[in-house]
């Protein structure tokens, strides 16, 4: 199955269900293999964070929140459910505040807008997480079991053990048309006795009796049900949204009384089970190991070995400068001096190894974006050993900045700051 993204941009605005703050939202198409990327436009428009369980804020309750740089985006589960349920692999979610708009308390507004704009297939295959053996998470009276299956099925038992909300059960195969019809319209809910407590704890500041079902005697106050088991269906929708923090899942998920915390515990198990094994990077790298990390080859590989290698932090690179280096044929042939731009390139290659040596950046490319504060202090000549000490000074999910100094013996030959963009091949 091919990956999919949106055909165009979609815009929303409204209040956050929990914060009550006004917020605007844009959902834009994204390149293949991007995943779902979140961006806080009001903080750092250049920073995009992938919606993955490792980026989830751990101390949030009653909703799922994603850490984005110095900020957070709360209540992402309804939109994530729409992406998962409709089969959208790649999108950029641009938010102007710290919570997504709550809309009517369900995912139906997101779904209808996505269906209206349409989807487009991309030239990349969808990646699946297949349940191959039973996986359990259990907290006494709360549990989730994931079993092997050819498609995604969700079975959910809701049991508040309270007279205001009777037990409910539903099991569905999740297909786009079934998700849209059976789950997307189900609204968020709470019991009447919970409502005052949640407000006192700072939750539900944007909630009202129209966008939140407040149950008393098994019926919503001043509202009407869309389904007799709407509360159960909403829990299933939340689970589908949280599951998408791992990716597209094929399996039968059987949940009893689970919420976001338990959902995320299952997602962590799924993610750990499906992550490829990555061997530790050695502290010293020879040419063959260097070539496994960066794409440079003769005659443009200017690093012979690397020592003191700490992926994502620092490394020391070495190049043995000889008269056989090709650039000496035309660069001051009567007085051979290594070109200064190639010294900077050599330092940048060490920086590229540092950036791409991190597990999450394997099989990517580091493009040089800028060079600043470059200074040349002493010449580098045939017979010299160039030692390059490079350290990362700033790092974000898709960019990195390094400072490098190149020495011959104890003499400083060159220093510069370089900035990289880390991109997929």
Give me the active site residues, please.
260, 331
Compute and round to an integer the Cα radius of gyration of the chain: 27
> Residue by residue, what is the 3-state secondary structure of the chain?
CEEEEECCCEEEEEEECCCCCEEEEEEECCCCCCCEEEEECCCCCCCCEECCHHHECCCCCCCCCEEECCEEEECCHHHHHHHHHHCCCCEEEEECCCECECCCCCCHHHHHHHHHHCEEEEEEECCEEECCCCEEEECCCCEEEEECCCCEEEEEEECCCECCECCEEEEEECCHHHHHHHHCCCCCEEEHHHHHHHHHCCCCCCCCCCCCEEEECCEECCCCCCCCCHHHHHHHHHHHHHHCCCCEEEEEEEEECCCHHHHHHHHHHHHHHHCCCCCCCCCCECHHHHHHHCCCCCCCCCCCEEEEEECCCEEEEEEECCCCCHHHHCCCCCCCCCCHHHHHHHHHHHHHHHHHCCHHHCCEEEEEEEEEEEEECCCCCCCCEEEEEEEEEEECCCEEEEEEEEEECCEEEEEEEEEEEEEEC
Residue 47 to residue 98: CA distance in whole angstroms: 15
| Cα dihedral across residues 391, 393, 395, 400: positive or negative | negative
Residue whose C-alpha is closest to residue 229's, from 292, 167, 138: 167
- 103, 109 Cβ separation under 8 angstroms: yes
The pairing of strands 143-147 and 135-138 is: antiparallel
Q: Quick check: 80 and 51 in contact, CB under 8 A?
A: yes
The answer to whether 165 and 235 have CB atoms below 8 angstroms apart is no
């Amino acid at each position: 199955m091919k990956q999919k993204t949106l055909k165009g941009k979609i815009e929303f605005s409204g209040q956050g269900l929990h914060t009550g703050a006004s917020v605007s939202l844009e959902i834009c198409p994204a390149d293949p293999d991007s995943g779902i990327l979140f961006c806080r436009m009001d903080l750092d428009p250049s920073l995009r964070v992938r919606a993955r369980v490792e980026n989830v804020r751990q101390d949030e309750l009653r909703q799922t929140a994603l850490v984005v740089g110095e900020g957070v985006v709360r209540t992402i589960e309804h939109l994530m459910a729409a992406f998962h349920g409709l089969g959208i692999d790649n999108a950029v979610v641009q938010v102007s505040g710290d919570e997504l708009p709550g809309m009517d308390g369900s995912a139906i507004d997101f779904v209808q807008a996505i269906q209206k704009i349409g989807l487009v297939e991309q030239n990349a295959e969808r990646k699946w997480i297949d349940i191959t053996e039973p996986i359990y998470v259990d907290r006494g009276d709360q549990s989730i079991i994931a079993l092997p299956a050819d498609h995604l099925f969700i079975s959910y038992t809701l049991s508040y053990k309270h007279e205001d909300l009777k037990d409910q059960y539903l099991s569905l195969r999740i297909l786009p048309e079934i998700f849209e019809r059976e789950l997307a319209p189900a609204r968020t809910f709470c019991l009447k006795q919970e409502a005052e407590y949640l407000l006192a704890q700072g939750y539900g500041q944007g909630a009202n009796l129209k966008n939140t079902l407040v149950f008393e005697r098994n019926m919503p106050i001043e509202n009407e049900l869309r389904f007799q088991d709407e509360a159960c269906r909403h829990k299933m929708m939340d689970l589908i949204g949280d599951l998408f923090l791992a990716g597209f899942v094929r399996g039968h998920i059987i949940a009893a009384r689970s919420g976001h915390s338990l959902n995320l515990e299952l997602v962590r198990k799924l993610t750990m089970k499906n992550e490829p094994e990555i061997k530790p990077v050695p502290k010293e790298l020879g040419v063959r190991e260097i070539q496994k990390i960066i794409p440079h080859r003769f005659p443009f590989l200017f690093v012979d070995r690397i020592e003191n290698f700490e992926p994502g932090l620092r490394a020391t690179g070495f190049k043995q400068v000889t008269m056989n280096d090709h650039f000496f044929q035309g660069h001051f042939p009567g007085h051979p001096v290594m070109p200064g731009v190639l010294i900077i390139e050599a330092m940048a290659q060490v920086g590229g190894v540092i950036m791409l040596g991190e597990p999450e950046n394997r099989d990517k490319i580091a493009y040089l974006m800028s060079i600043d504060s470059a200074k040349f202090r002493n010449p580098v000549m045939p017979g010299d050993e160039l030692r390059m000490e490079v350290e990362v000074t700033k790092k974000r999910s898709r960019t990195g900045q390094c400072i490098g100094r190149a020495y011959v013996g104890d003499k400083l030959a060159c220093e510069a700051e370089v900035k990289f963009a880390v991109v997929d091949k």
